[in-house]
Amino acid sequence: MPFSYSIYKKIRIFVGISCCFVAIPGYTALAKMKQMPGFVTASSFLPKAYSLPGAGRSLRITYLSTNGVTGQGLVPVTAEVILPAGKAPAGGWPIVAWAHGTVGVSNNCAPSRNPWSERNSRYLSEWMKRGFAIVATDYQGLGTPLPHPYLNTRAEAYGLLDAVRAAISSAAPLENKIMIVGQSQGGGAAFASAAFAPEYAPELNIRGIVATGTPYMTPELLKQITKPSDNMAYNPMVVYSLYLAQGFAGYHPSSKPSEIFTARAMPAYHAAAKICVGPLAAKVKKEGLTFDNSLKPDFSEKIAPALAAMQYPTMKLKYPLFTGTGELDKDVPPALQLALVKAACAAGTTVEAHLYKGLDHSQTVNASLPDSAVFTNAVMSGKIITSQCEAVPQ
């Protein structure tokens, strides 16, 4: 890394986030930082309706991040930085780097442009009560004029890690002590961020990972979840496949969605470019779309690069991992989540896995709070977490 982020923070405090880069001490160094991931290019107050209950200062920032699709070059990404109310502790607030679940691929779906859902508002408010500030990336291509590479793990990771860099380098009272926390798509983004961090952002002091509803895909698992079935019930993974194909098309203009989806599914595919997850799910339900009647037999071959981009660069994480899986999860089937736990355990990751009986994908988020509090207190205080891989549910 050619320039220290600690020096950058001092310069940013001196100059001010909205500085016009006049000839002042530190200008040369600051100009160099403009070419680095994590540089804040814009900042504005977040509307109160878009913040969290009881929060203090809340911002929407735009920062630079490495393009996760190409692995090079910088792209603008947006994020929310929400501080707890009251005076910050000595050294600043520790950080929850929040990775959100599926919202859609259109800019109007970006979390920083919308109020929090009731579930996420409750969940993140509990993290604030634990004394954490929230740094929540929108991910590359959500909230900015770029396609969103949905479920691209490198793009998610770079966006999250650079959001934390941006927040720490600003004048906000934040401490470089970080919990990475995510749900669903964000559970995968959290795992990916931990996998990429040692090489991409080694200066970040990450203490642990909390991931619920975490996706994991291998060719074998893909065949298992898309095999022909007589069950015509709604499957939320059809919605995710539509977004995956849309994200793929955004970076591969030569792709032909008609080679991936049947004629029956094409209206929903086109709608996925414009509408967020709730309305798209309603459309899929109304039109009775299933894997059987939506996907063509060789769809996986046609979308192979997008499936490859969902893979994690390593299953061995440097940091302890907490996972929460709902027994009745239909969005990310437990078989996928438990396969990730087993693969991470086999690779040598320290894993604390929890299975929540009788709960679905969404219910597991807040149900996991008491368990994640114990885990978080331990890793934040430097205690050693004992891996529970032998107790992973079969």
C-alpha pair distances (Å), 33 with each of 27, 37, 172, 198, 219? 10, 8, 18, 21, 41
Burial of 56 (0-12, 13-18, 19+ CB in 10 A): middle
- State the pLDDT at residue 392: 63
The pLDDT profile of the chain, 394 residues, written as one tens digit per residue, is 334 445 445 444 433 333 332 333 444 555 566 789 999 999 999 999 999 999 999 999 999 999 999 999 999 999 999 999 999 999 999 999 999 999 999 999 999 999 999 999 999 999 999 999 999 999 999 999 899 999 999 999 999 999 999 999 987 899 999 999 999 999 999 999 999 999 999 999 999 999 999 999 876 667 666 666 655 678 898 999 999 999 999 998 888 999 999 999 999 999 999 999 999 999 999 999 998 999 998 888 888 899 999 999 999 999 999 999 999 999 999 999 999 999 999 999 999 999 999 999 999 999 999 999 999 999 999 998 888 887 666 5
The pair of three-digit structure tokens given for residue 295, joined into one six-digit string = 């996907």
pTM here is: 0.91
CA 99 – CA 324 distance, rounded (Å): 15
* Residue from 38, 48, 51, 78 nearest 167 by CA: 38
CA 68 – CA 154 distance, rounded (Å): 5
**What residues have CB less than 8 Å from 279, skipping those under 6 apart?**
271
- State the pLDDT at residue 228: 62
* Residue from 67, 63, 71, 85 nearest 136 by CA: 63
Phi, psi of 57 (to 5 degrees): -60, 135
In terms of C-beta distances under 8 Å and separation of at least 24 residues, what long-range contacts does 369-375 make, across chains too? Answer: 369/123, 369/126, 371/322, 371/324, 372/181, 372/210, 372/322, 372/324, 373/130, 375/208, 375/210, 375/320, 375/322
Give the HSE-up count for residue 229: Cα atoms under 13 Å, Cβ half-sphere.
15
- State the pLDDT at residue 114: 96
- State the pLDDT at residue 297: 87
C-alpha pair distances (Å), 326 with each of 210, 333, 360? 14, 9, 5
DSSP 46: P
Pairing of strands 74-84, 55-66: antiparallel
Provide the β-strand partners of residue 325: 355
- State the pLDDT at residue 224: 63
- State the pLDDT at residue 227: 66
CA 209 – CA 187 distance, rounded (Å): 9
Strands of 48-160, DSSP E: 55-66, 74-84, 93-99, 133-137
The pair of three-digit structure tokens given for residue 387, joined into one six-digit string = 């891996």
* Residue 190, SS3 per DSSP: helix
The pair of three-digit structure tokens given for residue 64, joined into one six-digit string = 């630079």
Domains by residue range for the chain, with CATH: 37-212+315-391 (3.40.50.1820), 219-309 (no CATH)
CA 345 – CA 389 distance, rounded (Å): 6
* Residue from 336, 309, 310, 305 nearest 323 by CA: 336
